Amino acid sequence: MADNTDTAIVIVAAGRGTRAGGDVPKQWRPVAGKTVLARTVAAFAGFGRVVLVLHPDDMIGGLSEFGGTVTLVAGGASRTESVRNALETLDMNTVSRVLIHDGARPFVSPELIQRVLSALAHAPAAAPALPVSDALWRGQDGHVSGTMDRDGLFRAQTPQGFHLREIVAAYRGHAGDAHDDVAIARARGLDVVIVEGDEENFKLTWPKDFLRAERMLAGDMDVRTGNGYDVHAFTDGDHVTLCGIEIPHSRALLGHSDADVGMHALTDAIYGALAEGDIGRHFPPTDPRWKGAASRIFLSHAADLARQKGYRLTNADVTLVCERPKIGPHALAMARELARIATVDPERISVKATTSEQLGFTGREEGIAALATVTLVRS
């Protein structure tokens, strides 16, 4: 889409709407693990430079969420003022067309965006809409007080697209507020082409809209599990390190690093869920850099890799198999330490232990084995 460098996308998200419930404005509420606004911004990737209009109180939050990927502009007292502020930041020498979009419409499709852009090749303004299909009534006090003809009526959506010079001139010539940008364009006499809207491009307004959004995204959810298994032999020593916790013991574990068998199993489980091999692939034992390296480096790398690929670690379960030392008294501290290293909620990590009834190598206390299972979710 190299020919979209002349396109700016103004996303208006300065409102304080709380009709949707919750204690933060709706555009900042998460849907399936990602804020509405992050989803809306992502929907325009590749279509042009995004200018995000935020409430002045949200500028710092916006900077931390979007960094340098978008231009942030402080909104005004009304939507009209907010759009005006954003338009005045655009350089008419380099930007020739602008799409103005509601921050609370995260489900806008690339096809719809393209329909608006294509229409701008032949008209100064274009906007998506859907014909009204239900009968229309007037109502008062819970009773029908009249009926309306729905012929020729449309439900307006965004993005509304304009030739930049035309809409800037329209805004400069318009005093006061307006229903939307199309109203301001028409007040200046601009021809506005209607392109086909999309039922899924709805505006999140009410609590039930958020339930609908969650349901829509549930279909896209990618849920992965991974398992890890590791064994380390005992050797001479006076302590073992298990899941990041040092425990005094009459023996130590033999290994290339700190021999943290539990953390290794968990790390391998994360790599496994990502189909990214195992610790040995990312930290080759032949590389002197990793000689004696603390195992938390491995776990934190695996957890970061999962995040980079868009996954959340939703739970992990680690089982240590040994006769001694006794794990029970340390299990909670271990779970907390794993959670701290992987930067996840401690309640999502479980560490437990079992003996093998004195059978096999763990029963003979020749070493310790560990198993781990993780679930990663991307939505």
- The nearest distance, CB 261 to Mg ion, in angstroms, is 6
Question: Using H for helix, E for strand and C for coil, what is the string for the chain?
Answer: CHHHCCEEEEEEECCCCCCCCCCCCHHHCEECCEEHHHHHHHHCCCCCEEEEEECHHHHHHHHHHHHHHCEEEECCCCHHHHHHHHHHCCCCCCCCEEEEEECCCCCCCHHHHHHHHHHCCCCCEEEEEEECCCCEEEEECCEEEEEECCCCCEEECCCEEEEHHHHHHHHHCCCCCCCCHHHHHHHCCCCEEEEECCCCCCCCCCHHHHHHHHHHHHCCCEEEEEEEEEEEEEEECCEEEECCEEEECCEEECCCCCCCHHHHHHHHHHHHHCCCCCHHHHCCCCCHHHCCCCHHHHHHHHHHHHHHCCCEEEEEEEEEECCCCCCHHHHHHHHHHHHHHHCCCHHHEEEEEECCCCCHHHHCCCEEEEEEEEEEEEC
Quick note: the x/- pattern for Mg ion over 125-164, rule CB under 5 A, is ----------------------------------------
Stretch that binds Mg ion, among 10-18, 178-186, 222-230, 286-294 (CB under 5 A): 222-230
- The nearest distance, CB 355 to Mg ion, in angstroms, is 20
Distances (CA, A) of 375 to 69, 233, 326: 30, 28, 27
- The nearest distance, CB 367 to Mg ion, in angstroms, is 11
- The nearest distance, CB 39 to Mg ion, in angstroms, is 39
Q: Which is nearer to Mg ion, 58 or 268 (CB)?
A: 268
Q: Which is nearer to Mg ion, 181 or 230 (CB)?
A: 230
User: What residues between 240 and 269 interact with Mg ion by CB under 5 A?
Assistant: 264
If one asks whether residue 181 binds Mg ion (CB under 5 A), the answer comes out as no
Looking up tokens 């931390």, which residue turns up? 64
Find the residue with minimal CB distance to Mg ion.
Answer: 264
Q: Which is nearer to Mg ion, 264 or 348 (CB)?
A: 264
End-to-end CA distance of the chain: 25
Rg (CA), the chain: 29
Q: Which is nearer to Mg ion, 218 or 254 (CB)?
A: 254
- The nearest distance, CB 257 to Mg ion, in angstroms, is 8
Q: Which is nearer to Mg ion, 230 or 337 (CB)?
A: 230
- The nearest distance, CB 296 to Mg ion, in angstroms, is 14
**Among the listed residues 58, 180, 181, 230, the single contact to Mg ion using CB under 5 A:** 230
The Cα 42–Cα 45 span in angstroms is 5
Q: Which is nearer to Mg ion, 82 or 241 (CB)?
A: 241
Q: Which is nearer to Mg ion, 35 or 267 (CB)?
A: 267
Q: Which is nearer to Mg ion, 102 or 268 (CB)?
A: 268
122, 220 Cβ separation under 8 angstroms: no
Q: Which is nearer to Mg ion, 110 or 237 (CB)?
A: 237
Count residues near Mg ion (CB under 5 A).
2
User: What residues between 284 and 303 interact with Mg ion by CB under 5 A?
Assistant: none
- The nearest distance, CB 248 to Mg ion, in angstroms, is 21
- The nearest distance, CB 370 to Mg ion, in angstroms, is 9
- The nearest distance, CB 320 to Mg ion, in angstroms, is 13
Stretch that binds Mg ion, among 121-129, 188-196, 228-236, 351-359 (CB under 5 A): 228-236
Quick note: the x/- pattern for Mg ion over 333-352, rule CB under 5 A, is --------------------
Stretch that binds Mg ion, among 78-86, 138-146, 150-158, 225-233 (CB under 5 A): 225-233
| Contact residues: Mg ion, CB under 5 A | 230, 264
